[in-house]
Structure 1
Amino acid sequence: MRLPLSFFIGLRYHRAKNSNGFISFISASSTLGIVLGVAVLIIGLSVMNGFERELRDRFLAIVSHGELEAVNPPLIDHQQLLSGASEHSKVLGAAPYVSFSALVQKGKQMKALSLKGIDPSLEKNVTNLHQYVGDDAWQALASKQPQIVLGSGIAKLLNVAEGEQVTLLLPKANQQNRLSSPQRVRVKVVGLMRAGGQLDNQLAFINLGYAQELMQWQDGVSGISLRVAEPLQADEVVRSVAKTFPQLVYIKSWIRQHGYLYQDIQLVRTIMYAIMLLIVAVASFNIVSTLILAVSEKRGDIAILKTMGASDQTLLKSFIVYGSYNGVLGCAWGALLGVLGSFGLPKLVGLIEALIGHSLLSADIYFIDFLPVKLIWTDVIAVVAAALLLSMLATIWPAWQATRVKPAQELG
C-alpha cells in the first residue's frame, strides 16, 4: 500500500540528516522525555493499582467493613441486631465479637495488642481471616480453650513459636474503668496470622466463648462486625443498620478508621498523573522547537514543493507527520519500558532490600511490607493516548508556519 504524499515527505524529512546538529539534539531529547514520562507514569500507576488491590483483598479481608459496638458493653440481645443486619439488602454477613486491649508477655518482653474474641464459623461471613491463619489454627479457635492466634509481627518481637505459652494481661472483668491490677492468663499459641503488614503487629484472636468467660459476660458481646456489598458505602450501610436497633451503639466503619489509606492512594495517583503528563508536555515543547528550526532550515525545500504544486494542506500534514514521529517513537518505547518495568519492579525492590539488608516498606508503618504491582492495560492505553495527543497538538502551530512560506521570496 502506497503512503500518502504527506506521509512520504514527513518521513523522508525525518530520516534525512540535519545540517544543524542542534536540531538533532533537541529531537532526541524530546523523544527521550516522552519515553521517560510514559514509562514512569505506567510504572507509577501500576504500583498505585497494586496498593489499591492489596487494600481491598488483603487489608479489608482481615478488617471488617463496619462495626456496631455497644456504648455501654456488653451488647444486650445481640441476636436481634445480627438478624436485623442479615436482612439488610446491602449486608453480606454479620458476626459477633468481643474486643479489648491487652498486653502479651513472654519472659521480659511485652507487647500491647488488640485482642478480639471471634466465632470462627460466623467470622467467615465477615472476613477472610482464615486464609491468613491456616486451617489447623482456625479449627483450634473453634474450641473454648485458652488458645490464641498471634500476629506474626508480635510473635517475632516476642520470639514466640506455635505451640508455646504466653501470658495475657487483661483488665479485670467489670472493672474496665477502674484502676486495678490486671488479671493474668496463660494461653497457648496455636497459630500465627501472616497478612504481611501492619496488622501483623497489632492483632490477636481468641475464641468468642473463652473471651466471654474472661469478661464474665455470659452471652454478651462487645458488638457485631459487618461485611457490606460496596466497601466504599460502608459508613452509610452501617448507619442504616444501627437505626433499627434500640440500644445505643457506636457506628464504626473502615472508612472512618482506615479510609485515609484509600484517600492517600487516590491522591498520589492523581498527583503522579499530573506530574508525569507535565513532563510529557515539556518534552512536547521540544517538538515545537524542533519543528520551528526544521521549518526555518527547509524553507527553500518548502518553496520548491509549492512551485511543484504541493498544497498548503499537504505541507501541513507533512510537518505534522515529521513532528509526530518523535511522539509516536517515544510513546512506543515508553509503553514497552513501562510494561517491562511494572513486571520487574518487585524483583528489583527485593534485590535492593537484599543488598542493603533492610525492608523499604516497614510493617510498623505501612499496611503491607512489600511493593505490590498491578498492571491494568486500560491505564497503558490511556497514558499512551494522552502522550500522543499532546505530542501531536505540539506540531500544529509549527506545521502551519510552513504553509506561510512564500516561494517568490525564498527563490527570488
Structure 2
Amino acid sequence: MLDRLPLLIGLRYVRAKRRNHFISFISLTSMLGLMLGVAVLILVLSVMNGFDHELRTRILGMVPHAKIESRAGLVEWEALAEELMQRERVIGAAPFVEQQGMFSSAGRNEGAMVNGIHPEWEDRVSIIGRHMQQGSLDDLAPGEWNVVLGSLLARHLGVGVGDRVTLLVPEASITPAGVFPRLKRFTVSGIFSVGADLDANLAYANIEDMQTLARLGDAVGGLRLELDDLFVAASETRAIINQLGTGYRGTDWTFTHGNLFQAIQMEKRMIALLLTVIIAVAAFNIVSTLVMVVTDKHADIAILRTIGATPRSIMGIFMVQGMAIGVIGIAVGVGFGVLLALTISDLIGWVESALGIKFLDAGVYFISDLPSRLHWSDVRDIVAAAFGLTFLSTIYPAWRAARVQPAEVLRYE
C-alpha cells in the first residue's frame, strides 16, 4: 500500500477542493499556459512546415534546380542533355530560352520573364503542365506565336485565352528608319496558376519562337535540370561545370530562392525557441503552485511521516501532483494544436470568403494561401520538451516537502 501512496495521494490532491482558492487559480493558470503553449507551438511549426513544403513543391517545382548555360548558346543541346541524364543525381533535363520583357495590352503594362520551352521536354523539369487553368502547353506550337501567362499576370493585363498581347524586349532593332525597340505580338493560348508569386511574373512560349525573337538561330539559352535531391544542387552544379570544362556556367536554385528557404528555416527555429519559453513559463508556474501546496499541507505531511511515509514517498506525492497538472495541460494542448494544424487552411479560407479579404497576397508573398503540414515528429519533440520542463519544475517543491520535520509541525497543532 505504501508503494502506491505517492500516486494515490498525489492524484487526490489534484482533485481536491482547496481552502486557498488562490492556489487553485495558480494551478489552473499553469495548466492553461501549458495547453496554450503546446497548442500554439504545434500550430506554428505546422504552418512553417507548410511554407517549407510549398516552397519545395510549388516554387522549386517551377524554378529549375540547376541551369547549365554557355556564353555562345548551346547548339548540340540534345546530346548534352543525354550526357547529363547519365549522372546519378540528374533525373530530368530540358532546353530553355529566357527573355526578360514587358507585356502590353490595352494600355496596361507588366514586366515578366518569358521562358521559351519545348512542350514535350518541359514535364521533365517543371510542374507547369499540372497547373494549367486554361489551355495546354501543347498549344505552344512553333510559328504560332502563342504564349501561356500566369493567372495574376493575365489578370493585371486584363486578358484571357484568345486575346493578343505585345511583348517588348529590352533590345533595339536597327532599321533604315532608325532604332526601334523590338516588339512581337503573341496570342494568349493558356493560363496557369501555382498559387505563388510566379503567377505574376512568368510566361511561357515555344522555344523556336523565342529563338527567333532572341536571334539565337539553332542555339538555345541552356538546359534546365531536375535533381533527385534539391539540397545537392550547388555541389552537383559545380561537378557538372567541372566535367564540361570552360565555356559553360551553371547556377542553381539557391541563387534565386535560397535566401527565402534559409529565412523560413531560421524563422522556424526562432519561433520554436520563443514559444518554448512560453511553455517553460507555464511549467515553472507549477513551482509556485506546489510550493504553496506544500506550505498548505504541512500538517498532512507530518501525519504521513508519523505513520511511516518516507521522504522519498513525500517527494513522490508532490511530483505526481505537479506532473498530473502538466499531463492534463499538455494532453489538451496537443489535441487542440493538432486539430488546429489540420484545419487551419480551411478555417482561414472560410474567413477570407466570409470577410472578402485576402491574408496572403501572391503579389507580396510567394504563395497565396496559408499552408499547414503536421509532422508527428514535431509533436513528439514538443511533448517531450513540455514533459521535461514540467518534471524539472516539480523537483524543488517536492524536495522541500520531503524536508518537513513532523515534530516541529505537530508541536503547534
Fold conserved between structures, TM > 0.5: yes
For 1:269-318, what per-residue CA distance to the aligned partner results, in whole angstroms no more than 9, with x for missing partners?
A: 11111111111111111100011111111111101001000111211111
Distance 1:187 1:269 in 2: 43
* Deviation, structure 1 residue 79: 3.6
Q: Does 1:403 align with 2:402?
A: yes
CA separation of 1:143 and 1:4: change in aligned 2, threshold 3 A: farther
* Deviation, structure 1 residue 171: 4.3
* Deviation, structure 1 residue 343: 2.3
Larger fraction in strand: 2
- 1:288 is matched with 287
Moved more, 381-390 or 241-250: 241-250
Distance 1:247 1:78 in 2: 16
Q: Does 1:92 align with 2:99?
A: no
**Contact 1:69/1:250, CA 8 A, preserved across alignment:** yes
CA separation of 1:334 and 1:314: change in aligned 2, threshold 3 A: same
For 1:243-282, what per-residue CA distance to the aligned partner results, in whole angstroms no more than 9, with x for missing partners?
A: 2224523321111210112111111111111111111111
CA separation of 1:82 and 1:28: change in aligned 2, threshold 3 A: same
**Contact 2:134/2:191, CA 8 A, preserved across alignment:** no
- 1:318 is matched with 317
Distance 2:386 2:229 in 1: 34
* Deviation, structure 1 residue 75: 3.0
- 1:341 is matched with 340
Partner SS state of residue 366, structure 1: coil
**Contact 1:42/1:339, CA 8 A, preserved across alignment:** yes
* 1:220-235 correspondence runs (5 A): 220-235=219-234
Distance 1:132 1:173 in 2: 35
**Contact 1:106/1:167, CA 8 A, preserved across alignment:** yes
Distance 1:209 1:96 in 2: 11
Moved more, 392-401 or 373-382: 373-382
Q: Provide the aligned length of Structure 1 versus Structure 2.
A: 408
- 1:49 is matched with 49
Partner SS state of residue 308, structure 2: coil
Q: Does 1:14 align with 2:14?
A: yes
With normalisation by structure 1, the TM-score equals: 0.94
Distance 2:3 2:140 in 1: 73
With normalisation by structure 2, the TM-score equals: 0.94
**Contact 1:173/1:216, CA 8 A, preserved across alignment:** no
Distance 2:292 2:127 in 1: 62
Percentage identity across aligned positions?
A: 39
CA separation of 1:98 and 1:293: change in aligned 2, threshold 3 A: same
* 1:122-133 correspondence runs (5 A): 122-133=121-132
Partner SS state of residue 370, structure 1: coil
**Contact 2:326/2:387, CA 8 A, preserved across alignment:** yes
One-letter amino acid of the structure 1 residue matched with residue 20 of structure 2: N
- 1:35 is matched with 35
One-letter amino acid of the structure 2 residue matched with residue 234 of structure 1: A
One-letter amino acid of the structure 1 residue matched with residue 197 of structure 2: Q
Distance 2:253 2:100 in 1: 19
CA separation of 1:406 and 1:53: change in aligned 2, threshold 3 A: same
Distance 2:143 2:88 in 1: 33
- 2:265 is matched with 266
One-letter amino acid of the structure 2 residue matched with residue 106 of structure 1: S
Partner SS state of residue 102, structure 2: strand
One-letter amino acid of the structure 2 residue matched with residue 77 of structure 1: E
Which runs of no fewer than 5 residues in structure 1 stay unpaired? none
- 1:249 is matched with 248
* Deviation, structure 1 residue 216: 2.6
**Contact 1:38/1:280, CA 8 A, preserved across alignment:** yes
CA separation of 1:21 and 1:192: change in aligned 2, threshold 3 A: same
Partner SS state of residue 74, structure 1: strand
Q: Runs (4+) of structure 1 moved beyond 6 Å?
A: none
Distance 1:322 1:196 in 2: 50
Distance 2:116 2:62 in 1: 14
**Contact 1:34/1:280, CA 8 A, preserved across alignment:** yes
- 1:149 is matched with 148
CA separation of 1:7 and 1:293: change in aligned 2, threshold 3 A: same
* Deviation, structure 1 residue 359: 1.4
Distance 2:105 2:2 in 1: 80
**Contact 1:154/1:200, CA 8 A, preserved across alignment:** yes
- 2:276 is matched with 277
Q: Does 1:164 align with 2:163?
A: yes
RMSD over aligned CA atoms reads: 2.0
Partner SS state of residue 159, structure 2: coil
CA separation of 1:151 and 1:289: change in aligned 2, threshold 3 A: same
Moved more, 340-349 or 231-240: 340-349
One-letter amino acid of the structure 1 residue matched with residue 7 of structure 2: F
Q: Does 1:75 align with 2:86?
A: no
